[in-house]
Structure 1
Amino acid sequence: MSSHTDSPTLIRRVAVFDGDRLAPAQDVLIDGPTITALGPHLDAPAGATVLDGTGRTLLPGLIDAHTHTTDTAQLRQALLFGVTTELDMGGAAETARRMRAAADERDDLADVRVATTGATAPGGHPGQLVELGMIAPFPTVAGPGEADAFVAARVSEGADHLKIFIEDGTAIGKPLPLMSTETVSALVNAAHEQGLRTVAHTLTRTAARQAIDCGIDGLAHSPADGPSDQALVEAAASNGVFVVPTLTALTGMTPVPAEYALADDPRLRPYADPQWLADLEENRTTDPGQRVGPVGVDPRHAADAAVRMFRLGVPLLAGTDGTGGHGHPTTHGISFHGELALLVAAGLTPAQALTAATAAPADAFALSDRGRIAPGLRADLLLVEGDPTRDITALRDIVGLWRRGTAVERTAPFAAQARE
C-alpha cells in the first residue's frame, strides 16, 4: 500500500529524464503532491528525507495510452510497474466512473482517464461480444444525425475522451458493419465541440485513412493489415494525428522473445499477475493456430507504419491495449515494458521510447500536470537503477516510486493486493 509522509523528499545527484531529454546530476525536491524544485545543489528543507540518486535515473511516471480497466487490482498492478496513469479506451460507464473515483481517492493505484462507451454502428465492433454474452448491450450510432446526442450522453456519463470504432472485421475474421464517413466526421466534430479528444480503433489501412480524413486526433492502433503506402504515412503527419502502435497486443500470444523475456525477467516476474503468467505458460504449448491474438494483421506492418509516421513528426504514444482478461496477450503494467522494448526494436531510440511513455501521451491528451519533471508538476515519479536512455530494460529495475508525491510500497506478489 502507499506510505504517506508530511515531510519533503530530496533526491540528490540523480540523472533526470524530464520527458524529452536527460540531464545528469540533478537534485529534485518533492513536497506534498508536487515537484517543488529541480537543479544542482538544492538545500534540503528541515526534516526532509534525503535519497542518494547516484547511478540512478528519475523519470516521470509512465502513461499507458491504451488500456481497458475493470477493477482496482488492475490499477494497482499497473502502478507496481511504474505506470502512474492509464488512458482507458472504452468500457461500461459505471465501471469507468468507479475506477476513476477510486484512483482519485487512493495513491496506491494508477490514475485513470476514461472513454466510457465507444461509438460504433449497430452490430459493429465490439457488438459481437454482446452476442457472445461477454459484455452488456450498449448504445450505437446509426447515422450522423445521432452524433450530437451520442457525444452528449458520453459527456454526461463522465467520458474524458471519445473512442470511435472503425473495424470491418479483418482482425477477427468476421465481416462487421461500419459507420459512414459522414457519421465518423459528425462524431469527431461533436466531440471537439464538447472539448473531448477523439481516438479511433483502426487496424487496417483503409480504416486509418478514413479516420485521418474525418479529423480524428489519434489512432488507437497502427495499421497492420499490410504495408502502408507513403500517402497514408504523409496523411497522418500532415493532419497532426498521434498513433498508439500497441505492438504488444498485435503480436498476440505468439512465442516472441520480447514477451517471454518479461515473464522470465527477475526484475518483473515477482510483481506480475499470477493468472497472466499461467496463461502465458499455457500458451507456450498451444498450437500456433489456436493462440489468442488478432488475425489478418501483422505486427511488423504496424511497427513499420508507426516508425515511418514518427520520422515525419507523428507523435507515438506507448500503449498496450492491456485488459488483464483470461487468455488475453497483454495485461496491466508488465506488458508496458514489453511495448517499450518492441518500440526500440522497431527503430526508436530508448530515449524516444521513453518520451512515448511520458511526455507524448501527456501532450496528446492535454494532461498538463504530468508526463514531465519540472517544478509545479505532479510528483508522479519513477526512480530506476542505471540509464534507461541507453538500455530501455533498465526501466524494469525500479528502486523508488511516487504517485502524487506519495511513496508507493512495492510488495510482491501481486496476488496479495486487495481487490475491489
Structure 2
Amino acid sequence: MSEAEAQAASETLFRDVRVFDGKGDALSDPTSVLVRGNLIAVVGDAVAAAPDATVIDGGGRTVMPGLIDAHWHTMLIRQTPEQMLFGDVGFVNLLAGAEATATLMRGFTSVRDMGGPSFGLKQAIDTGIVPGPRIWPSGAMITVTSGHGDFRPVSDLPRDASKPLSRVEELGAAMVVDSPDMVRQRVREELMKGASQIKLTAGGGVASPHSPLDVSTFTLEELKAAVEAATNWGTYVTVHAYTSAAVRRAVDAGVKVIEHGHLMDEDTARYLAEKDIWLSVQPIIPEFFGGMFPPGSDQAQKADEVMEGTDRLYRMVKEFNIKTAFGTDVLFSEAMARQQGRMLASLQQWFTPAEILRQATSTNAELLELSGLRSPYKGRLGVIEEGALADLLLVDGDPVTNIDLLADPDQNLVLIMKDGKVYKNLLSD
C-alpha cells in the first residue's frame, strides 16, 4: 500500500466529545466522531472504528470545525513595510512560512488571502513542505495610480512605458492599472497564476501614503471590466471599500463582496442587504489597531476614523441582516497576528458566542464557495458532519458559552487537525 493509500485508509476516532457542528446554537450531547482519511465519516454514538484506528478520548471536550479567516494577508504579516520595499525576497518568504505555521497553530485551518504573492507559499503548504492553513489566494491586489496599494514615491511619476514596474508590483503584492483594458489584463494574469478570486481596491485606505479615505478610485467601466474577466473564469471580484460611494459603485458594477465598509451609511447597508451582497468585516477597534501609526500622522488620523465606524457598522449588520464574514486584516505585525483568536472573541460586543462561531466556520466556508471551480480545495468546510473535510479542533471547554477560550489557543486548543492530519495533540503528552 502506498503512503497516499495508507493515509486515505487511516482512521481517527474521537470518543466522548461534544460537537459544535458549525451551524447550531449549542453543543451536542456526548458522542463520537470518526475521521477516515481526510473526511469526517461518521458522527454519532456507538461508532465502530478499524482495529488499527487512532483513538482519542476527548474527556467531554468540544470538537468544532477549524476556524476560517476571510481577510488575511499570508505574505504581509511578519515583514515590515521596509522589508517589503527593500528587503531580501528569500528572507520574506521564510517569514511567511513561519507565520503560516503559527496561523495553523492558532486553529485557523483556512484563510482567504486578500492580497499578496501567496501562490508559492500555498504550494509549499499543499505539498507538505510547510505546515499552514488552506489558502484561497487573490494574488496581487489591483489598484489605480494613487490608490490604496500604490506605494510608489511621487518621484517615480509620471509613469510611462519607459519605466519598469515598481518594487511592490515586481513582488506581486499589488498592480497599478488605469484603464479597463489594463484591468482585464492584470485580472487575467492573476487568474493564470491561480487566483481563486480577484481583489480590487475601490476606495482609499489607511496604510497607503497617497490614498485619502474619502476617494473612490476605479471608474464604473474599470470595475465592470474586472467583474467580466473574473466571471468568465467562474469566480468573483471583491473590493476594498470603506465609504458609501465606493461601496455602491462596486455593487453596481457587479462586485459580489465588500471588504470593510466601516464608513458607509444606513441606506448603503440596506442596499447591500437588498442586493444580497457579502460584507467581509473586521473588528477594527483600538484594542488591536490603536497605536499602529505615529500619533498625528495622516495614517493615524485615517485609522481613528475607521475605528470610529466599527461599532455602527456591526449594528447595521445585525439590523439589516447582511451576509457577514469574519476576518482580521493583520498587516506588518507578528504581535497583532498572535491576537487573531482574541480578535474573533472581541465580536461578543455585538454577537452571541454561537453567532461568532458560525461566522468563523460555516458562514465563512459559504463565502469561500463563491470561488466555484476556481476553489483550490474540493469538499465541504466549516461543519462537523458526514462527508465534510476533516479540519477540526478539540477545545478544552465549551466555546458556545465561553468564546474567550479561542483567545488563548496555546492553552485551550488541545488538538488541531487539518485534512485528516493531526498537527497538534496535547493529549499525547
Q: Which runs of 4+ in 1 moved over 6 A?
A: 130-134
Q: What are the Cα deviations for residues 32-82 of structure 1, in whole angstroms up to 9, with x where unaligned?
A: 111111112212321222222243111111111111112211110101100
Shift of 1:189: 2.6
Distance in 2 separating the partners of 1:246 and 1:211: 19
1:135 matched to which residue of 2? 168
Work out the CA distance in 2 between the residues paired with 1:188 and 1:344: 35
Q: TM-score, normalised by structure 2?
A: 0.77
Question: Aligned in 2, Cα 1:186/1:381: closer, same or farther, shift over 3 Å?
Answer: same
Q: CA shift at 1:150, angstroms? A: 2.8
Task: Map residues 223-242 of structure 1 onto 2, 5 A cutoff.
Answer: 223-224=262-263, 228-242=264-278
- After superposition, the CA RMSD in angstroms is 2.9
Letter in 1 for 2:69: D
1:348 is aligned to 2:384:
no
Summarize the alignment of residues 19-418 of structure 1 with structure 2, pairs less than 5 Å apart.
19-21=22-24, 22-70=27-75, 71-92=96-117, 96-106=118-128, 108-128=131-151, 135-137=168-170, 139-168=175-204, 174-175=210-211, 178-224=217-263, 228-248=264-284, 252-254=288-290, 288-289=295-296, 294-295=302-303, 297-323=305-331, 325=332, 327=333, 330-331=336-337, 334-345=338-349, 347-366=350-369, 368-395=379-406, 396=408, 397-409=412-424
Once the two structures are superposed, residues 8-28 of structure 1 have per-residue CA deviations (whole angstroms, 9 ceiling, x without a partner) of 211123121111113222210
In the alignment, what sits opposite 2:93? none
- 1:248: how far off? 4.1
Q: Which runs of 5+ in 1 are unaligned?
A: 256-282, 412-420
Cα distance, 1:410 vs structure 2 = 6.6
Q: TM-score, normalised by structure 1?
A: 0.79
Kindly provide the amino acid, as one letter, of the partner of residue 375 in structure 1.
E
Count of aligned positions: 368
CA distance in 2, matches of 1:111, 1:17: 21
Cα distance in 1 between the residues matched to 2:39 and 2:246? 41
Q: Secondary structure at the match of 1:221?
A: strand
Relative to structure 1, the CA distance from residue 143 to residue 220 in structure 2 (aligned partners, 3 Å threshold; closer, same or farther) is same
Amino acid at match of 1:362: A
**How far apart are 1:374 and its partner, in Å?**
1.4
For 1:296 and 1:211, locate their aligned partners in 2 and report how far apart those are by CA, in whole Å. Answer: 24
Whether the 8 Å contact between 1:307 and 1:348 is mirrored in structure 2 is: no
Identity %: 27
The change in CA–CA distance for 1:215 and 1:23 in structure 2 (over 3 A counts) is farther
Q: Which residue identity lines up with residue 77 of structure 1 in the other structure?
A: A
Three-state SS of the structure 1 residue aligned to 2:366 is helix
1:155 CA displacement: 1.1
Instruction: Evaluate the alpha carbon distance shift between residue 58 and residue 222 of structure 1 in structure 2; reply closer, same or farther with a 3 A threshold.
Output: farther
Tell me: CA distance 1:207–1:14, structure 2 relative to 1, closer, same or farther (3 Å). same
Quick one: structure 1 residues 310 and 171, their matched pair in 2 at CA, closer, same or farther if it must change by over 3 Å?
farther
Q: Distance in 2 between matches of 1:250 and 1:181?
A: 34
Moved more, 148-157 or 357-366: 148-157
Name stretches of at least 5 consecutive residues in structure 2 with no aligned partner.
1-5, 76-95, 157-165, 370-374
Offset of 1:229 from its aligned partner? 2.9
What are the Cα deviations for residues 281-339 of structure 1, in whole angstroms up to 9, with x where unaligned?
xx8xx97547986535232422322342244332221111123x2x57732xx332122
**CA shift in 2, pair 1:64/1:129, >3 Å:** farther
